[in-house]
Chains A and B, each alone.
Chain A
Amino acid sequence: AQSVTQLGSHVSVSEGALVLLRCNYSSSVPPYLFWYVQYPNQGLQLLLKYTTGATLVKGINGFEAEFKKSETSFHLTKPSAHMSDAAEYFCAVTTQGGGNKITFGTGTQLKVEL
């Protein structure tokens, strides 16, 4: 079984400040980890993913995340927040052999203030 925990259902940052969204996972087998973003009244869009190899992965819109096996974490960061980053962010996990069944975290609503 696999699970994902996102710490903080709401995060607020100032424009230009660092964005840090936290995600911890639980999986009995090596995980595939994802961050998706959802804008109001839209579906989900992939920001980045970790499957194997380099543990620091870069995604779209300046976001990146680091897979830390020892900490079972996959936190999402962006050095400088922009107003357009305001959205809901979901950490997610699948596993080899699990098909495309995604287990999502509960989501973090990011607010960016002037």
Chain B
Amino acid sequence: KAGVTQTPRYLIKTRGQQVTLSCSPISGHRSVSWYQQTPGQGLQFLFEYFSETQRNKGNFPGRFSGRQFSNSRSEMNVSTLELGDSALYLCASSPTQQGYNEQFFGPGTRLTVL
């Protein structure tokens, strides 16, 4: 079974631009969550999508948004990029919305904002 895939793996943008990151979950998984990982703040939850609906949201500004498609693939968008948005963005998939299930993480997209 293929794992969680994220594209692109690396991205360089400049301040003020916007960016879209993509995540393809494991086949059959309907929940996709996004996390931001930085040296200063660690791993922080962005949002979770299940069956094309946002089910949970973390404490991030409205510049961060996401969506999920009918095939469970998810995209995350960050508008008006700031230097502080430089981070590793991780996507995780799970078969259900039950918190006791293992979440399977992708390798991440490393975003650098110049």
Which residue of B is nearest A90, CB measured? B43
* Listed residue (B56, B58, B94) with the most chain A CB atoms within 10 angstroms of its CB: B56
Annotate A47-62 by CB proximity to B: 1 below 8 A, 0 otherwise: 0010100000000000
Known: A32-B99, A43-B90. Is A102-B105 also a contact (CB below 8 A)? no
B66 CB to closest chain A CB (Å) equals 14
Q: Is A12 an interface residue (CB 8 A)?
A: no
Please, which residues of chain A bring their CB within 8 A of the CB of B62? none
Q: Is B21 an interface residue (CB 8 A)?
A: no
Q: Is A73 an interface residue (CB 8 A)?
A: no
How many residues of chain B get a CB closer than 8 Å to chain A's CBs? 28
Please pick, from B4, B33, B97, the residue contacting A102 in the complex, using a CB distance under 8 A.
B33
Q: Is A41 an interface residue (CB 8 A)?
A: yes
B103 to A100, Cβ gap below 8 A?
Answer: yes
Known: A51-B100, A102-B33. Is A43-B48 also a contact (CB below 8 A)? no
Please, which residues of chain B bring their CB within 8 A of the CB of A45? 105
Please pick, from B4, B45, B55, B90, the residue contacting A103 in the complex, using a CB distance under 8 A.
B45
B21 CB to closest chain A CB (Å) equals 14
Please, which residues of chain A bring their CB within 8 A of the CB of B102? 34, 46, 49
Please pick, from B42, B44, B48, B104, the residue contacting A99 in the complex, using a CB distance under 8 A.
B48
Q: Is B92 an interface residue (CB 8 A)?
A: yes
Please pick, from A99, A102, A104, A106, the residue contacting B50 in the complex, using a CB distance under 8 A.
A99
Please, which residues of chain B bring their CB within 8 A of the CB of A96? 99-100
A residues near B (Cβ < 8 Å) are 32, 34, 36, 41-46, 49, 51, 90, 94-107
B residues near A (Cβ < 8 Å) are 4, 31, 33, 35, 42-45, 48, 50, 55-56, 58, 90, 92, 94, 97-108
Write 11 A-B pairs (CB below 8 A) sorted by A numbering. Answer: A34-B102, A44-B90, A46-B102, A51-B100, A94-B99, A94-B100, A96-B99, A98-B56, A99-B56, A99-B97, A104-B42
